[in-house]
């Protein structure tokens, strides 16, 4: 969610019980603006918080002119001092997916793999050391996994130029209340997968400038999102049951929208059995 509108945005997603203390909100409000200035980001988003056993990671994302470009991710343990996370790689995501259990809250903590594959055994034979992964690498990989799976935007909020770059749509004035209650009105803000598999006939009615992402209506498993009206029916709130703690909000007929994550960084693998 946008750093400049953080207090109001956190108030809109507080229906689930998660949030920040007034002190943390005040500190974040000023430190995120300083972060934007020091790193010369065009925009800064407060991504959320991953709670560990001994501490919590507060996450921010810095954006450049092209909103679809890889984002710079930073974490803080106290909401004041920020550290830049390394760029994520597919190897990090794969390794992090094999780890189970809570985060510790210590970036330098090292995990040992409970299950080793042939590549790990080969590395052990060559180096003589057990394969390890630092919590900092697990942190950035988990953020990437959550962004790919449940990082969403309303339809029409962003436009794709003929050159391929993505920017905010200045003409976007929000979804109507009827549209806002439909999953098809929301897109995953990541590289599309299902869109590439659609036939030319299915793409005929799509606007290439706005319909360039995958919608939520075909997410697997079906029923992994809840849609609710809150604040007297003035706010539409979507919550993910796959990554518990991810909350998206949108105020219909306005430009106010965003998502935030407050959780332990673990995927709900039991979801197919719960539906």
3-state class percentages of the chain: helix first, strand second, coil last, to nearest 5: 30, 25, 45
Q: Give me the pLDDT at residue 197, please.
A: 65
Write down the H helix ranges in 50-117: 90-97
pLDDT tens sequence for the chain (275 residues): 787 788 888 888 887 777 888 888 889 988 999 999 999 998 899 999 999 999 999 999 999 888 888 889 999 999 999 999 999 999 989 888 888 889 999 998 998 866 655 555 555 445 555 668 899 999 999 999 999 999 999 998 999 888 888 888 888 999 999 999 999 999 999 888 776 666 666 666 677 778 888 889 888 888 899 999 988 889 999 999 999 999 999 999 999 999 999 999 999 988 888 86
- Tokens coding 176: 């109507």
Look at residue 162 in the predicted model and tell me its pLDDT.
83
Tokens of 229: 């009206």
Query: Residues of 213-245 as b/e, b for ≥16 C-beta within 10 angstroms?
Result: bbbbeebeeeebbebeeeeeeebbbbbbbbbbb
Q: What are phi and psi of 257, to 5 degrees?
A: -160, 165
CA neighbor of 180 nearest in space, from 235, 131, 125, 103: 235
Residue 155's nearest CA partner among 135, 175, 132 is: 175
Tell me which residue of 66, 60, 67 sits closest to 84, measured CA to CA.
Answer: 60
Q: What is the pLDDT of residue 125?
A: 45
């Amino acid at each position: 969610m946008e750093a400049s509108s953080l207090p109001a945005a956190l108030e809109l997603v507080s229906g689930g019980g998660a949030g920040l203390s007034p002190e943390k909100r005040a500190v974040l409000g000023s430190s995120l603006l300083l972060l934007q200035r020091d790193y010369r980001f065009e925009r800064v988003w407060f991504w959320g918080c991953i709670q560990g056993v001994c501490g919590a990671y507060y996450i921010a994302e810095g954006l450049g002119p092209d909103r679809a470009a890889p984002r710079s991710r930073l974490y803080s343990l106290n909401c004041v001092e920020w550290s830049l996370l390394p760029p994520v790689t597919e190897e990090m995501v794969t390794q992090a997916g094999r780890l189970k259990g809570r985060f510790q809250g210590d970036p330098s903590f090292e995990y040992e793999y409970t299950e080793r594959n042939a590549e790990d055994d080969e590395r052990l034979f060559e180096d003589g050391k057990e394969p390890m992964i630092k919590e900092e690498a697990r942190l950035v990989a988990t953020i990437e996994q959550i962004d790919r799976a449940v990082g969403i935007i309303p339809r029409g909020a962003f436009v794709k130029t003929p050159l391929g770059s993505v920017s905010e749509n200045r003409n976007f004035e929000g979804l109507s209340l009827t549209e806002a209650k439909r999953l098809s009105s929301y897109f995953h803000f990541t590289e599309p997968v299902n869109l590439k598999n659609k036939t030319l006939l299915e793409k005929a009615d799509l606007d290439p400038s706005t319909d360039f992402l995958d919608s939520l209506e075909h997410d697997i498993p079906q029923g992994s999102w809840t849609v609710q009206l809150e604040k007297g029916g003035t706010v539409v709130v979507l919550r993910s049951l796959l990554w518990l703690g991810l909350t998206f909000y949108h105020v219909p007929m306005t430009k106010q929208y965003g998502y935030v994550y407050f959780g332990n960084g673990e995927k709900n693998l039991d979801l197919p059995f719960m539906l």
